């Protein structure tokens, strides 16, 4: 093993409800089947806030958060043939799976009994370098977006995509509850597919509502409002359980309510009549490599996405998380190592 004079800078969470700490570390070495990436950009996800809040019981401390990584391959571990040095790849939330459990064998690796989650059970991209399993990296050679713009696609885009698939191809009238990073991307995909999209935001969040309308949504309003027509399906991106009965009220008979988040406040009791008439409530958990292949292939056939980002230097990761927590920007926060503060 060579001795690297170069160090890695990582923003580390040492436990729940702590601030991030900057840490100099030796360059991480890729093991068999792994690659080391130089991180070019890493977006900040609401899941990073849930991690910091101690809402994710599978977290392994200390951990470097970040699972919307765009990087270039800098070192190849033994046996890696599918990736090459210098190649641009993305690293999403699902960082590994066992390949043997009933879910993996059934093509549902997102539900694996022994999964690895980037930036949660293994170190993620709030760093200058990261080691990833090569077979879970997404090649981004053909994506016509720069690094910071591409980063939010690795979770906000992918989870949005899986949620949209769950909503059903026949969902022509779609409600999106919570208009942040995921919704602003998937709204554009849904509209390009010919769907009508209604955006629901926190009461009085006119900035988010205007953002939704500017991106082509047919209507935008407060989450308690009744949309102009019944929805075929609703996707909930806001981690607010009280939205479930509101969304059930807004969908038609046989309609679906898809919960896209990893964590949500409790769902309040509601009358069975809201669920009756074959309405369904579903949740989306994680994503598969097939989702990533499909999503990035679909992007090739759609008009270019407008990805709204606010970039921060790596060392300002705490500020980025705080701004996300308080809804201080539209779109997605992205950490860019090397960006001057």
The DSSP code sequence of 175-239 is: EEES-SHHHHHHHHHHHHTT-EEEEEESTT-HHHHHHHHHTT-SEEEETTSPPSS-EEEEEE-S-
Cα gap 119→130, rounded to integer Å: 10
Report, in Å, the least distance between residue 233 CB and Zn ion.
21
Q: Is 192 in the site for Zn ion (CB under 5 A)?
A: no
Whose tokens are 């729940």? That residue is 16
For Zn ion, which is the closer residue by CB, 110 or 311? 110
Q: Is 112 in the site for Zn ion (CB under 5 A)?
A: yes
Q: Is 181 in the site for Zn ion (CB under 5 A)?
A: no
The DSSP code sequence of 238-278 is: S--TTHHHHHHHHEEEEEEEEE--S--PPPPP--GGGTTTT
What character string, x for contact with Zn ion (CB under 5 A) and - otherwise, covers 245-274? ------------------------------
For Zn ion, which is the closer residue by CB, 114 or 203? 114
3-state class of 133 per DSSP?
strand
For Zn ion, which is the closer residue by CB, 155 or 167? 155
Q: Is 22 in the site for Zn ion (CB under 5 A)?
A: no
What is the pairing mode between strands 196-201 and 219-222? parallel
Cα gap 240→23, rounded to integer Å: 34
Report, in Å, the least distance between residue 32 CB and Zn ion.
19
Relative orientation angle of helices 156-167 and 289-301, to the nearest 10 degrees: 90
Report, in Å, the least distance between residue 112 CB and Zn ion.
3
Report, in Å, the least distance between residue 291 CB and Zn ion.
13
For Zn ion, which is the closer residue by CB, 89 or 248? 89
**232, 207 Cβ separation under 8 angstroms:** no
Phi, psi torsion values for 268, nearest 5 degrees: -70, 155
What character string, x for contact with Zn ion (CB under 5 A) and - otherwise, covers 67-106? ------------------------------xx--x--x--
| Beta-bridge partner residues of 73 | 37
Q: Is 47 in the site for Zn ion (CB under 5 A)?
A: yes
Q: Is 284 in the site for Zn ion (CB under 5 A)?
A: no
Torsion of Cα atoms, 321 then 327 then 330 then 332, to 10°: 20
Contact stretch for Zn ion (CB under 5 A) within 16-24, 108-116, 268-276, 328-336: 108-116
Torsion of Cα atoms, 163 then 167 then 172 then 175, to 10°: -70
Please identify which residue in 45, 134, 246, 251 interacts with Zn ion, judged by CB under 5 A.
45
For Zn ion, which is the closer residue by CB, 273 or 290? 290
Q: Is 153 in the site for Zn ion (CB under 5 A)?
A: no
Q: Is 155 in the site for Zn ion (CB under 5 A)?
A: yes
**89, 139 Cβ separation under 8 angstroms:** yes
Report, in Å, the least distance between residue 192 CB and Zn ion.
23
Contact stretch for Zn ion (CB under 5 A) within 79-87, 107-115, 146-154, 305-313: 107-115
In the complex, which residues of this chain contact Zn ion (CB under 5 A)?
A: 45, 47, 97-98, 101, 104, 112, 155
């Amino acid at each position: 093993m060579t001795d690297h004079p170069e160090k890695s800078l990582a923003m580390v969470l040492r436990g729940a409800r702590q601030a991030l700490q900057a840490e100099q570390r030796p360059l991480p070495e890729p093991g068999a089947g792994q690659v080391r990436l130089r991180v070019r950009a890493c977006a900040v996800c609401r899941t990073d806030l849930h991690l910091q809040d101690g809402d994710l019981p599978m977290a392994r401390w200390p951990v470097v958060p970040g699972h919307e990584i765009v990087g270039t391959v800098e070192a190849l571990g033994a046996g890696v043939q599918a990736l090459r040095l210098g190649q641009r790849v993305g690293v999403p939330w699902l960082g590994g799976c066992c390949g043997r459990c009933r879910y993996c064998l059934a093509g549902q690796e997102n539900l694996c009994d022994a999964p690895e989650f980037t930036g949660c059970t293994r170190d993620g991209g709030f760093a200058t370098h990261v080691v990833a399993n090569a077979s879970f990296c997404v090649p981004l050679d053909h994506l016509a977006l720069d690094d910071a713009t591409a980063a939010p696609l690795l979770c906000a885009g992918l989870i949005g995509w899986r949620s949209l698939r769950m909503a059903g191809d026949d969902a022509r009238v779609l409600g999106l509850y919570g208009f942040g990073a995921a919704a602003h991307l998937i709204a554009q995909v849904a509209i390009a597919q010919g769907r009508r999209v209604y955006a629901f935001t926190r009461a009085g969040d006119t900035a988010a509502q205007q953002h939704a309308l500017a991106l082509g949504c047919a209507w935008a309003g407060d989450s308690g409002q009744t949309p102009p027509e019944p929805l075929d399906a609703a996707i909930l991106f806001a981690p607010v359980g009280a939205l479930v009965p509101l969304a059930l009220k807004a969908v038609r008979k046989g309609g679906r309510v898809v919960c896209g988040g990893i964590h949500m406040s409790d769902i309040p009791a509601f009358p069975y009549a809201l669920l009756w008439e074959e309405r369904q409530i579903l949740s989306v958990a994680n994503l598969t490599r097939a989702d990533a292949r499909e999503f990035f292939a679909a992007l090739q056939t759609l008009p270019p996405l407008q990805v709204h980002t606010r970039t921060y230097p790596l060392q300002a990761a705490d500020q980025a998380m705080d701004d996300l927590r308080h809804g201080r920007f539209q779109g997605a926060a992205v950490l860019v190592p090397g960006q001057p503060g």
